[in-house]
C-alpha cells in the first residue's frame, strides 16, 4: 500500500518549524556510520555541506545565466548548494578539452559536484553532431546530459550514451514544446531503451500540460534520472513563476513521491525569474525545499512502524 500524501496544511506547519531551525537533518554520511564515509562532507572552505537524506537538492546554473562562471560558482556556494547542473553559458560548447578540464577543476576546487549539463539540444540526427556533445560532457565531467531532441534521434543518442556511459535525461518543456510537452511524451520513447536513457521532469512545465506531476513521477519510476524544480502561482501560466513555496505546485508531495520511488538523481532549482538579482529568491526557494524534506523526515519519524 502506498504511503498517504502529506496534507499541505500539515506540511507547512512542519516545514515552517524546520526552516526556522538552523540545522537540517543530516545524511547518513554526516551522522557517521562508523566506516570510512563517516566524516562530514565539506566544501573547500571547511564548511559542512548539509546533504539531504534521499532527495538531493542542486542548482541548475541557468538560474545564474547573467553571471560569468566565477560569479556563478560563488553564488552557488552562497546558497549552500553542493550539486550543480551546468548550462553552456558557463561551460561553452566551443571550449577545448583542455579548457573544459581546467573549468572542471575550478568548479570542483570550489567544493561543487558537477551532476550534469544542459539542457543540450541535439539539432541534427548525425553521428558527428550527437557525439560532439558526449565528448563535451565527458571532458567536463558530466555524468548526465539533460537533453532535448527529435524522437527519431533518440536511438542514435542511446548508442552514444552506452558508448560514453553517460546518462541522458529527456527534458519536457510544456505546451509550447512540439516534441515532449509532458513527461509521458518522452517516457513512451525511452521506456524500452538502455537504462541510461530516461527523463528530466521539469515540474513547472509539466503542470502547465494539466498533467498530475506527482503521478508522473510515480509512473516514470526508474526512468526518472533528473528533475528541474520551480513553482507557479497559476498552474496554467508560464509567466506566473515565483519563489518556490509561494506558488501552488505540490512540492512536498513531489518530494514524498521521489522518496517512494527511491529517486537517486538530483532536484535542481531552475529559477528563471529575477535574472539580474536571483539570490534572494533562490535562497528562499532552497529554504522552503529543505524545509519540505525536513518536514517529510519528521512526519516519517512520527509514523507508527508496522
Can you read off the three cell numbers belonging to residue 203?
515540474
CATH of the domain at 224: 3.20.20.150
Can you read off the three cell numbers belonging to residue 50?
548539509
How many domains does the structure of the chain reveal? 1
Mean pLDDT, all residues of the chain: 86
pLDDT at 167 over 90: yes
Q: What pLDDT does residue 23 have? A: 33
C-alpha dihedral sign at 166, 168, 169, 174: positive
Element at 32 (helix H, strand E)? none
Residue 225 within a domain: yes
Bridge partners of 202, per DSSP, are: 228
Residue 178's domain comprises: 8-14+53-299
Residue 151 within a domain: yes
Question: Across residues 145-166, what is the average pLDDT?
Answer: 98
The SS3 assignment for 58 reads strand
Residue 147 within a domain: yes
Residue 305 within a domain: no
Angle ∠(272,90,109) on CA atoms, nearest 5: 115
Q: Give how far the C-alpha of residue 273 lies from the chain's centroid of Cα atoms, to the nearest Å.
A: 17
pLDDT digits (tens, 9 = 90+) for 65-74: 999 999 999 9
The SS3 assignment for 112 reads coil
pLDDT digits (tens, 9 = 90+) for 97-119: 999 999 999 999 999 999 999 99
Residue 59 within a domain: yes
CA distance 239 to 219: 28
The SS3 assignment for 96 reads coil
Residue 46 within a domain: no
Whole-model pTM: value is: 0.83
Can you read off the three cell numbers belonging to residue 230?
520551480
pLDDT at 303 over 90: no
Instruction: Count the neighbouring beta carbons within 10 Å of the beta carbon of residue 231.
Output: 24
Residue 23 within a domain: no
Residue 133 within a domain: yes
Percentage of the chain exceeding pLDDT 70: 81
Amino acid at each position: 500500500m502506498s504511503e498517504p500524501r502529506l496534507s499541505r496544511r500539515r506540511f507547512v506547519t512542519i516545514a515552517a518549524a524546520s526552516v526556522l531551525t538552523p540545522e537540517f537533518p543530516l545524511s547518513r554520511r554526516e551522522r557517521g556510520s562508523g566506516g570510512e564515509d563517516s566524516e562530514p562532507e565539506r566544501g573547500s572552505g571547511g564548511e559542512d555541506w548539509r546533504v539531504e537524506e534521499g532527495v538531493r537538492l542542486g542548482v541548475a546554473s541557468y538560474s545564474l545565466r547573467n553571471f560569468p562562471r566565477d560569479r556563478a560558482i560563488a553564488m552557488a556556494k552562497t546558497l549552500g548548494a553542493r550539486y550543480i547542473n551546468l548550462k553552456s553559458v558557463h561551460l561553452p560548447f566551443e571550449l577545448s578539452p583542455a579548457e573544459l578540464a581546467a573549468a572542471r577543476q575550478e568548479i570542483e576546487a570550489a567544493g561543487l559536484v558537477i551532476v550534469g549539463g544542459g539542457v543540450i539540444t541535439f539539432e541534427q540526427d548525425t553521428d558527428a553532431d550527437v557525439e560532439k556533445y558526449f565528448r563535451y560532457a565527458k571532458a567536463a565531467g558530466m555524468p548526465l546530459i539533460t537533453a532535448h531532441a527529435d524522437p527519431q534521434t533518440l536511438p542514435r543518442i542511446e548508442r552514444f550514451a552506452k558508448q560514453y556511459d553517460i546518462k541522458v535525461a529527456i527534458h519536457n518543456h510544456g505546451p509550447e514544446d512540439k516534441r515532449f510537452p509532458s513527461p509521458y511524451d518522452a517516457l513512451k520513447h525511452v521506456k524500452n531503451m538502455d537504462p541510461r536513457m530516461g527523463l528530466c521532469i521539469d515540474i513547472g512545465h509539466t503542470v502547465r500540460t494539466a498533467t498530475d506531476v506527482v503521478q508522473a513521477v510515480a509512473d516514470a519510476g526508474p526512468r526518472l534520472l533528473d528533475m528541474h524544480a520551480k513553482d507557479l502561482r497559476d498552474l496554467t501560466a508560464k509567466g506566473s513563476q515565483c519563489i518556490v513555496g509561494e506558488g501552488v505546485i505540490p512540492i512536498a508531495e513531489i518530494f514524498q513521491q521521489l522518496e517512494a520511488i527511491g529517486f537517486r538523481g538530483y532536484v535542481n532549482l531552475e529559477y528563471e525569474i529575477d535574472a539580474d538579482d536571483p539570490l534572494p529568491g533562490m535562497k528562499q526557494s532552497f529554504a522552503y525545499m529543505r524545509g519540505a524534506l525536513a518536514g517529510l523526515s519528521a512526519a516519517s519519524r512520527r509514523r507508527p512502524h508496522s
